Structure 1
Amino acid sequence: MPGQHWKTEGKMRKTKIVATLGPATADDDILARLIAAGVDVVRLNFSHGTHEGHAQSFARVKAEALRQKKHVAVFGDLCGPKIRTGDLKDGLFLSSGDEVVLVPEGHSGGIGITNEECFTDVQVGEPVMLDDGYLAFEVTRKERDKLICRVVTGGRLKSHKGVNFPSTTLSLCALTEKDREDAYFGLDLGLDFFALSFVQTPEDVMELKQICGRTGVIAKIERPVALTNLEGILSVADGIMVARGDLGVERGFEHVPAIQKRLIRESRLRAKPVITATQMLESMIQNPTPTRAEVSDVANAVLDGTSAVMLSAETAAGQHPIEAVKMMARIIDAVEGDSYFETVPLQFQAATTFTQAIANAAVSAITNLDVRLIAVFSQTGETARELAKFHPRVPVVALTSRLEVLACMSLEWGVVPLYCPALSTPAEMVQSCQSLLLENGLVRSGDRIAISMGFEVDGAGRTNTLKLHVIG
C-alpha cells in the first residue's frame, strides 16, 4: 500500500512458493507463520469449501500480508469438469478380473460417475483410471448409459474419487456452471488471478478470460490433448500449471518428468510464469520431514527453471503445514545458493518490441558490469516478465502504482514487487527508485543498478529507456 515500508528477504529467493489453504491453516496464527515462512502466493481450492469460507480466507491472507508488509497474491483454482465416483458409502473392494458397470450418477445398476457425456465418448477397449491411477478398468462393451468394464488393477474404491479416461477425447467444456459462479464470485472478491482445470484448447482459456477481463488466467495442463494444443494455449493464457496428478494418470507417470521440463521451457520462452504442482512434499502430510526423493523432486523443478513450486494437501490438510513451507524454502535456498546453480539455459528469439529490446540490454549490462539489481517501472508487469524469463543473476525489482500488478509479480521468478506512486519525469523516477531501494535495504551507497522506464510515449507497457545509475 502507499507509504508502507515493505519487507524484502535478506537473501532473496528467486523461485516462489505457493501454498494451498484448508482446514490445517484455519487458525490465524498458523496462517501468519505460513506467510512468515516464505509463502508468496496462496491458492484457494474451489473444489472444496464455500464462498463464505473462501471470502474469509482471502480477507485473512490480505490482512496478514499487510501486517507483515509483504505482497502475497491469492488465486482461485476452479474445479473444471472433474469426473468423480458418486456416493459409495463404505466403498467397494474390487479384484482383478471382476466385471463392473459404470452408470451416470443417480442411475441404478452400477457405480455412479458424475458425467453423462463420457458414456458417448468412451469406446470399447479404452482404459478407465480411478483414484489417481490406483485402480484401472478396461471397457469391454457399451450399453445405453452403461460402460461394462473388466477390472485390470483392483483395490478399494471409495466415494468421490477421480475418474480418468486417458485414451478418450472427451467432449467436455472446461468451464462448468459452478466454475462460472465461482469466477464471478472471485472477481467480486478481488482475487489476483484464476487457475482453470482440465484445459484442452485455447478456446477453453478464452471462455474464462471473457468473464475475467484483465484478471489473469493460469491454464492447468492435465490432459494429453492440452500438450498437443500447447502453443495455442500458451498464446492466450497468462501462465500455466504443471498439474502432475491427473497428467500422470492420463499420460503415464514415467512421462511426467520430461513433460514438466518441456512445459517449463515453453513457458519461459514466452515470458509466462509456470507453477509446478502435485505431491511435491506429499509425505509431509503426515511426517515432519520429506523423503530424499521429494527433496530431489523440488530441487529439480528449481533447476528446470519453474517460476513457483506448489504445496497442496501438505498445507491444506497436513499435520505439518509450517514445516512443509520451511522445508520448501530450505530446498530452494540450498539449490539457488549453490556455487554451481544455473537454471536450464535457453536461446530466446531476437527482440521485436521496445520492451524486449530494453530487457535484452539490461541482461547484457548485468552480465558484463557489476550491477546490484535491475529496477523496472511497469504499469502492466510486461517488462518485469520479459526480464524474468532470462533468469538474471540479480533481482528484478518491479516498481508500480497498480496493486493488482504488485500481487501478480509475486508469482514471477526472481521479481521483488514494490509499490511506487505514478511519476511523470525521468528525474522523479530515478530519485524515487533510489529512495525506495535504500529504504527497503536492497542497495547501499555506491551500488550500481540498472533502471528501465518509459516516458514520452502513449499508453502503459511502453518501456523505452535503460539507465545505468550509481546509488549516491
Structure 2
Amino acid sequence: MKSTKDLVEFIIHLEKKFTQSEIKIQELQLHLNYEVSAKNLAKYLILRSHELRPIQNQLHHLGLSSLAASESHTHYQLLNVLKWLAPEYKGKECTLSDDVGRDIISQRTKKLFGDKRADHNIPYLMVTIDERKADDVKYFEKLLFNGMNIARINFAHADEFMVSQIANSLQTAIMNTGVPCKIHMDLAGPKLRTIIPNKKKKIELQLNDVIYLQAATANESFPKKTVLVSETCIFETLQSGHRIYFDDGKFHGIIEEVKNQTAAIRIVRTPLDNAVLKQDKGINLPDTHLNTHSLTTDDIKNLRLVALYADLIGYSFVRKTEDIQLLRTYLKEFGIHKPVIYKIETSEAVDNFVELLYEAMKDPLFGIMIARGDLAIEIGFERLAEIQEELLWLCEAAHSPVIWATQVLESLNKTGLITRSEISDAVMASMSECVMLNKGKNIVQTMQTLKDILKRESSHREKKRFTMRPLGIVKKFVSERLNNGHSDQ
C-alpha cells in the first residue's frame, strides 16, 4: 500500500495527465456535440491504463470514493477525491459531474430511440421482426402494446417487398395504438454463410471428419462433404492452423491445408445430437484477417430502402475506422442523414474499439450495439463476460447509448422455457440503454418477462462497483495518442 503522500502524488499526476489530454483530443476534429464526451473518454482511458486496485483499496479504507463508478464524470470524481486528500491543490475546474454525465447519456438515448409512453425506468426494447408476419397488423399492435420501442428489420432475411410490407404494417399499427416506435434497419454486411452443393442442402458431420471449404465460383465436381462460400477473397489470408466455426459455433474445425481456393478442414467438435450442417449458416474465422469489404453490393443497394423507411442504420461487422469513413461516404452520396448503430461483433472491432468511438464522434449522433453472437465466437466464449462489460464502461465514458443484443431470453422465446442463466444475463442487460430481442414464437411472453426482470433490477441498483485493473483494449490508444508513444506505466 502506498503512503498517503505517495497516493496524493499519484492522483495529482493523473489529474495533470487529464488536463494535458484535452489538448490532444482537440486535434481529432470531432463533432461539437461530442467535445465534452471525447475529453471525458480520454481521461477515463488514462485512468484505466493503470493498475488501480491497490489505490482503490486505500481510498476505500480512507472512506473516500474508490473511482469505481466514475465512467461518466472521471475528472470531476478525481478532483473531489483530491479536495479531501490535498485541499491546497488547485486543479483545473471541471463541471462534468455525475448528474451532468448521466443527463448527456439520457438525452442522447432519447434522441436516438425516441419517446416512450411507459416503462421510463428500464432500457428501451428493440424487437427483431418476424418476416412471416410482415403484413399482420395485429402482430405489430401486440408488440407495441407490450413495450416495443424499436422495430428491427434485418436485411439478411428481408427483401425489398418484405421491407415495405413491414414498414407499412408497423405504421398502421402505430396509428391504431398511438404508441410511437422507430425502425432500425440492419445492413447485412459481409456475413460468411454456408452454401451446401447437394439436393438436401445439408451434410452430416462427425468428429475428425475432413471437409472442404471451397469458392462458390469454382466450376467442378465437389467432394461429398463440401461447403461453398461466396466471399472468395477469404482464401487470400486463410492459413493452415486457423480456426473455423459454423452455425454460431456449433461446429468447430481447424484448417489443415489451403490450396488455390480450397481449404481442407478437420472437424474437432460437433453437437452431441443432430450434428447436421445446413445451408445458410454462419461461418466465423477468428484467426483470419479478412479482406472483405465492410459494405457489400447488396448493402449499398439497400441504402435506398434505408432512406425511405429507417430511423436508425445498423452497420454490421465494422472493424476499423476506414469502415466508418466508407459508410459515411455512401450516406453523403445518397443524402441520408440518420444515426448509425455500430455493431461490435469481431475481435478486430474490440481491438480497435476506442478508435471506432472517436471516429464515430465525427458525426452528430451514434450508438453502439454489442452483438454478442458472432462476438462470442470471435473472441472466445470465456472472454465474452469481461469484454461486454468493458465495452459498456467505455461507452458510458463516451456518453454513448448501448444496445445489448443477441440471445436475450432465447430459450424462453423459442421454447417457452426459461433458464436460470438467462435470467442472470437479462439482469446484465439492465446496464444498457436498449435491449434487443430476436424473433420467436413466444415473443410477447418474452417481452413481458424481460420487462419484469428489468423493473425489479432497476428498483435496487443502477451500476455495480468494480475494481479497476488495467484495460488491455485502451493501452494502444493511450500510448499512441495521449502519451506521445511512450508508456506511462
* TM-score bracket relative to the smaller structure: 0.5 to 0.7
Over the aligned positions, Cα root-mean-square deviation in angstroms equals 2.0
Task: State the partner residue of 1:424.
Answer: none
SS at match of 2:306: helix
Offset at residue 24 of structure 1 (A): 5.7
> Which residue number corresponds to residue 357 of structure 2?
234
Give the aligned partner of residue 233 of structure 2.
117
Equivalent residues in 2 for 1:77-116 (5 A)?
Answer: 77-88=186-197, 89-90=199-200, 91-107=202-218, 108=220, 109=222, 110-116=226-232
Aligned partner letter, 1:20:
T
What letter matches 1:145 in structure 2?
Q
In 1, the alpha carbon distance for the partners of 2:174 and 2:292 equals 38
Check 1:38–1:250 CA distance in 2 against 1; reply closer, same or farther (3 A cut).
same
Q: Distance in 2 between matches of 1:72 and 1:84?
A: 31
Contact 2:395/2:401 (CA < 8 Å) preserved in 1?
A: yes
Identity percentage of aligned residues: 28
> Equivalent residue for 2:325?
206
Kindly indicate whether residue 441 of structure 2 is the aligned counterpart of residue 319 of structure 1.
yes
Question: 1:138: which partner in 2?
Answer: 254
Tell me what 1:364 maps to.
Answer: none
Structure 1 Cα separation of the partners of residues 338 and 181 of structure 2: 16
1:185: which partner in 2? 305
Per the TM alignment, residue 125 of structure 1 is displaced from its structure 2 partner at its CA by 0.9
Once residues 464 and 299 of structure 2 are traced to their aligned partners in structure 1, the CA distance between those partners, rounded to angstroms, is 36
1:420-459 correspondence to structure 2 within 5 Å: none
Q: Which runs of 5+ in 1 are unaligned?
A: 1-5, 348-472
Deviation of 1:17 after TM superposition, in Å, equals 0.7
Within 5 Å, give how 1:64-463 maps onto structure 2.
64-88=173-197, 89-90=199-200, 91-107=202-218, 108=220, 109=222, 110-154=226-270, 155-187=275-307, 189-212=308-331, 213-237=336-360, 238-302=366-430, 305-312=431-438, 316=439, 318-337=440-459, 340-344=460-464
Residues 205-240 of structure 1, C-alpha deviation per residue, up to 9 Å, x if partnerless?
A: 222122334211111111101011101211233111
Deviations along 1:368-419, one digit per CA (max 9) or x if unpaired, are xxxxxxxxxxxxxxxxxxxxxxxxxxxxxxxxxxxxxxxxxxxxxxxxxxxx
Q: Which moved more, 1:176-185 or 1:103-112?
A: 103-112
Deviations 1:279-320, CA, capped at 9 Å, x for gaps:
111112333342221111011121xx21111101xxx3x221
Distance 1:346 1:269 in 2: 15
Deviation at 1:344, TM superposition (A): 4.0
Q: 2-side partners of 1:137 and 1:288: how far apart?
A: 32
Letter in 2 for 1:135: F
Q: How far apart are residue 99 of structure 1 and its match?
A: 1.6
Separation (CA, whole Å) in 1 of partners of 2:132 and 2:408: 17
Name the amino acid aligned to 2:457: V
Aligned length: 332
Deviations 1:428-459 (A, max 9, x none): xxxxxxxxxxxxxxxxxxxxxxxxxxxxxxxx
* Partner-residue secondary structure (3-state), 1:263: helix
Shift of residue 8 of structure 1? Answer: 2.7
Aligned-partner Cα distance in 2 for 1:290–1:252: 24
The normalised TM-score by structure 1 is 0.67
| Alpha-carbon separation, structure 1, partners of 2:304 and 2:353 | 27
SS at match of 1:262: helix
Q: CA deviation at 1:195?
A: 0.6
Cα distance, 1:167 vs structure 2: 0.7
Tell me the TM-score normalised to structure 2 length.
0.65
1-side partners of 2:442 and 2:146: how far apart? 13
Q: Is the 8 A contact 1:100 1:151 kept in 2?
A: yes
Inter-partner Cα distance in structure 2 for 1:7 and 1:140: 53
Distance 1:67 1:211, change over 3 A: farther
For structure 2, the 5+ residue unaligned runs are 1-114, 361-365, 468-489
AA in 1 matched with 2:408: M
Aligned-partner residue type, residue 242 of structure 2:
E
Deviation at 1:346, TM superposition (A): 9.6
Between 1 and 2, higher relative CO (CA 8 Å, sep ≥ 6) is seen in 2
Runs of 4 or more consecutive aligned structure 1 residues displaced over 6 Å after TM superposition: none
**Per residue, is there more helix in 1 or in 2?**
2
Equivalent-residue separation in structure 1 for 2:233 and 2:286 (angstroms) = 15
